[in-house]
Structure 1
Amino acid sequence: MTANLSETLTLLLIEDDDGDAFLVEELLNQAVAPPKIFRARSLQEAKAQLSPKIQCVLVDLSLPDANRLEALEEVLAIAPHAAVLVLTGLRDVHVGVTAVQAGAQDYLVKQDVDARLLARSIRYSMERKRADLAQLKLVQAELITAENARLESALLPGPLLGSADIEHMTRYLPGSGGTLAGDFFDTVQTPDGAVHLVIGDVCGHGPDEAALGVALRIAWRTLVLAGQTSDTLLRTLDTLLRAERKAPEIFTTLCTATISPDLRRARMLVVGHPPPVLLRGGVVALPDGTPSGPPLGIFADVEWSEIDVPLGDDWSMMLYTDGLIEAAVGEPDGLLGVDGLVNLVREHGTIDLDRLITHVGTLSDDLAVVLVRRRKA
């Protein structure tokens, strides 16, 4: 009866006894698709042959240069993606059980091996290894998801807003890569009734950038609650960014708005960031004036200038990150852009976040949006 190894495998047999090695090779050659077999007589020889092309390792634990489980530990460390099948003698059955507990996929007693049993054990070891790797990937994905959720809650907090005259909405969508980036936003109303908003974007993607975004957001909230605003606030954030970033080329763009207690005016800082969109009495407009200055973390001794914007009695203001205007839309390689965004708001006659986001296509970057509007009396 021939063994049934249905796929051609690449195996490494680590066995110092020539007779035992010959027996195993003969049994493997009876398979429907005989595997490609490499042979090592010691752990040292095996180390030179273990590579990603090896799919399964058959290892004798009685090697001249390794003490029992030492060989297994070395194999598992060097070839973590290979299935490992341990070969033992009659007197070492308990060692085989221990080996499986230590990470091997299966064990065989040499004296009991035939072609059918060997083929079946190899198939079992391969499938169990696939299952182990799939489970590991699942656990890693769950950990990443949990970490992203934790970072997202820190990047995108609930507003500290006590006024019933302000309507506040936010949206956040990760980019096509699914990796959390450094987009952050926050809203705080201070005791004098002024409403402060920030939206920012740390360049790059990944946990380091996200963590830096968390630090900047928390620092912004702390400074605002402590009464710091405008140029002093930005200088402090710039100092923090330079101290905390992992590389000197990391910079941060942001946009802030401070709405006066009577909700009729706003002071804005546009720091290397896309300008807000303002719907004011039915008229779509970008804030008057030039950008306030370059992003944080690029130039030393920068002074940022505020932009004074009249709001009136009926207004909506949207702050966003560049993931929105860099979203694919229309023809291939077409981007929404600031003008496209303004035209959409003008066509809709209002700023409807869900409708707006539905209109854009594939996101190449994270998208964060904050919308505030004055409630009508």
Structure 2
Amino acid sequence: MLVCELSLDAWMDADMPAPDKPAGGTAEETFPAVVVIDDTGAVTGWSRAAEELFGYRAADVLGRSCAPLLIPPVTPGDREARVATWAARFGDQERWSGLLEARHRDGRQLLIRVSGSRLRTPEARAAWLLCMTPATAEEPGRAADLLEPLINHSPVAMAIWDRDLRCVWLNSAAQELHDVFPHYEIGRSLRDPIPGIDVEAARDAMSRVLSEGIPMIDREARWTAADGSAQLTLSTSLFRLDGVDGLPLGVCSLALDISRSRARDRLALLREASIRIGSTLDVTRTAQELADLAVPVIADYVTVDLAESVLPDTEPLQRLAGSEARIPVFRRAGVASVHDGVPESLWPRGQAVFVPPSSPFTEVLSSGRSHFEPLLDTSSGTWLDEDPARAEIIHGTGMHTLIIVPLAARGEILGVTVFVRNDNPAAFTKDDLILAEELVARAALSLDNARQYTRERTAALALQRNLLPRNLSGGDAVDVASIYLPSDTHEGVGGDWFDAIPLPDSRVALVVGDVTGHGINAAATMGQLRTAVRTLTYMGLPPDELLGHLDDLVVRLTEEDAGADGFPLGPTGATCLYAVYDPATRRCTMATAGHPPPALVDPSGVVSFPRPPSGTPIGVGLGSFGSLELELAEGTLIALYTDGLIETREADIEAGIDRLGAALAGAAVPLESLCGTVIDIMLGGTPSEDDIALLVARTR
């Protein structure tokens, strides 16, 4: 084990003569200092370069401990910990290297780069050959060893600071920042005040890294010249430098000027695109978000033109009149410009875009490859001859460089995005093309998601409305009105439904339900349940028995439709409230399967929410349901609804029930307008978070 005794106070205080000056040159110019020590820490070999480096002759150190070469520890406990650290890290290694803080005979501190190699001796005792070179610029010619050319050509400003936060080494990039940071100077400490320069933040950060050893990575600092003529943004990182004995020696700082970094700008733009583009599942809004983001970062003028398949609700382009020279190919979905009023655009958003068949627009659409034209050719004999209106705009606004990128997603071309510069005199470069393609690729996925969502939502909504009753009738028992409001969130159409079923003897069944989940599957499940409820109603079953049979039916359907793993493939549960009113007795019998209670408004305007025995949701398979029977006065209002009407993220169901009671108490009397009035009061103009079904009936 390598053990270096670090305190021999008597020998350290001895008056040792200084070595003679070598006859020719300096040891640093040719050879490193070579020292040999044995397993007790005693020096057994000492080169002439070692004399030059440390100031001791060979006769002064041979056979003695190497402790005087090291900076003495403060306490014996520190000394023992230092020895233990060194021995644990390097004592059993054949080769090792690192930094060491040493001491010259005259008391100067030296930062030494040391490499150790294990030696074998005839006595079979361990020994180590140590090659030492100065690691700081205080020793000429040793500043950065063999890596100096590479480090000095690096754009990263590198500096080393000792424990007193004094600069001891710089590379060329750091020296160039001296005007920005005057403490980038050999021998100057961050603790030295400079008028007009605030280094408190840098000093605190370095002190923290020095004491805690935790690196600080990529911390941005901005500097502005006193006259405002220049600005810099530096990305700074700090790392602690530890010696081979584990003690901190200082801090290495790395600073990179990122104020004009195109790579950083590119990442920032793409990061912003991931946040801003596709914020909603709306096709035209997503297209406009792409155009807005690209101006003026990439271009002065940007359009997003989409194919007909992406905008299914618009007038088919094939019906628009074209000509041999110009045909309708796209529809403008997004446009942005650095100029107010977008003078470059021939067509506003929503209108059809006509292009010549020989234009680069149709070529991009058919080939799927970008069109890159750094110098836009506006001379005669080009495709612009077939499009004089566009040629006039190009000449009039000074367009001089062009990029057209296809909007492609999942193997399909959705449209094109056009990038143009007119104010910016710089022509587009290949880097601009790559950035534009990356940006458009991200936007295309958002557009395709929005398109698919729109299609699915339209289909689900059509299915939902076809499955809901079209001609609702309460027979001779009640007057009825209803409303269904799909969700405005991404989930879209759900499985809410309602129904009014006239029965023999002038009775009527009122039902409202809510299938779990959203989309086409939920709507289809809703249709099955509504049909099943009608069938069971015609069998004359009382409300609690009807819900029990409905529960059994859903359980069987779920088992039959389960996948190979035994799990259901679609929605499996629902809540339901079922009520039967008999006008002859004015009795209303109701049962619930996990559904919110009905609202009753008597002729005097008093609102109540009777609570039938709580039942489990449909599809659980427990079949535990009970009924509640009430006598209703003539002209009583019955309101059945789904939880979307009363439940929000900010308030629970009970709070929503209280709000619904207030809305019904003050709502308009005519039944035809009651549903819309209640919806307006409950939502307050905000989009609904869930589907809403509301069925109201007034007894005759």
| 127 and 322 in structure 1: CA distance in 2 versus 1, 3 angstrom threshold | closer
| CA root-mean-square deviation | 4.0
Paired residue for 2:591, among 266, 269, 272?
269
Q: 1:162-241 maps to which residues of 2 (within 5 A)?
A: 163=475, 166-177=478-489, 179-241=492-554
Q: Is residue 2:448 matched to residue 1:126?
A: no
| Whole-angstrom distance in 2 between the partners of 1:342 and 1:164 | 27
**SS of 2:695 mapped into structure 1:** strand
Which residue number in structure 2 is paired with residue 338 of structure 1?
657
Cα deviation per residue 1:39-69 (whole Å; 9 max; x = unaligned)?
xxxxxxxxxxxxxxxxxxxxxxxxxxxxxxx
Is 1:275–1:286's contact at 8 Å kept on the other side of the alignment? no
| Whole-angstrom distance in 1 between the partners of 2:471 and 2:545 | 23
Is 1:167–1:374's contact at 8 Å kept on the other side of the alignment? yes
**SS of 1:313 mapped into structure 2:** coil
Q: Tell me the CA shift for residue 131 of structure 1.
A: 1.1
Is 1:160–1:189's contact at 8 Å kept on the other side of the alignment? no
| 125 and 369 in structure 1: CA distance in 2 versus 1, 3 angstrom threshold | same
Aligned residue type for 2:616: P
| 159 and 222 in structure 1: CA distance in 2 versus 1, 3 angstrom threshold | farther
Q: Is residue 2:682 matched to residue 1:360?
A: yes
| Whole-angstrom distance in 1 between the partners of 2:619 and 2:605 | 35
| 207 and 136 in structure 1: CA distance in 2 versus 1, 3 angstrom threshold | same
Which residue number in structure 1 is paired with residue 452 of structure 2?
140
Q: Tell me the CA shift for residue 124 of structure 1.
A: 3.3
Cα deviation per residue 1:294-349 (whole Å; 9 max; x = unaligned)?
2122242x331111011121211000001111147xxxx24552122113323448
Is 1:212–1:241's contact at 8 Å kept on the other side of the alignment? no
| 155 and 117 in structure 1: CA distance in 2 versus 1, 3 angstrom threshold | same
Aligned residue type for 2:406: M
| Whole-angstrom distance in 2 between the partners of 1:294 and 1:8 | 55
Which residue number in structure 1 is paired with residue 645 of structure 2?
324
Is 2:473–2:479's contact at 8 Å kept on the other side of the alignment? no
Is 2:486–2:493's contact at 8 Å kept on the other side of the alignment? yes
Is 2:373–2:402's contact at 8 Å kept on the other side of the alignment? no
Is 1:159–1:187's contact at 8 Å kept on the other side of the alignment? no
| Whole-angstrom distance in 2 between the partners of 1:242 and 1:104 | 53
| 349 and 341 in structure 1: CA distance in 2 versus 1, 3 angstrom threshold | same
Q: Indicate the percent of aligned positions where both proteins have the same amino acid.
A: 30
Is 1:277–1:284's contact at 8 Å kept on the other side of the alignment? no
* Long gaps (5+) in structure 1: 1-6, 10-32, 34-99
Which residue number in structure 2 is paired with residue 370 of structure 1?
695
Paired residue for 1:254, among 565, 576, 582?
576
TM-score, normalised by the number of residues in structure 2: 0.34
**SS of 1:373 mapped into structure 2:** strand
**SS of 2:404 mapped into structure 1:** helix
Is 1:253–1:272's contact at 8 Å kept on the other side of the alignment? yes
Q: Tell me the CA shift for residue 281 of structure 1.
A: 2.4
Cα deviation per residue 1:110-156 (whole Å; 9 max; x = unaligned)?
xxx997699x9993343684517598667635532441233222442
Select the structure of larger CA radius of gyration.
2
| Whole-angstrom distance in 2 between the partners of 1:232 and 1:338 | 27
| Whole-angstrom distance in 1 between the partners of 2:370 and 2:598 | 66
Normalized per residue, which structure has more helix? 1
Q: Is residue 2:359 matched to residue 1:105?
A: no
| 122 and 255 in structure 1: CA distance in 2 versus 1, 3 angstrom threshold | same
Higher relative contact order (CA 8 A, sep 6+): 1
Is 2:578–2:590's contact at 8 Å kept on the other side of the alignment? yes
Q: Tell me the CA shift for residue 186 of structure 1.
A: 1.1
**SS of 1:357 mapped into structure 2:** helix
**SS of 2:694 mapped into structure 1:** strand
| 232 and 103 in structure 1: CA distance in 2 versus 1, 3 angstrom threshold | farther
Is 1:223–1:229's contact at 8 Å kept on the other side of the alignment? no
| 200 and 162 in structure 1: CA distance in 2 versus 1, 3 angstrom threshold | closer
| Whole-angstrom distance in 1 between the partners of 2:516 and 2:631 | 31
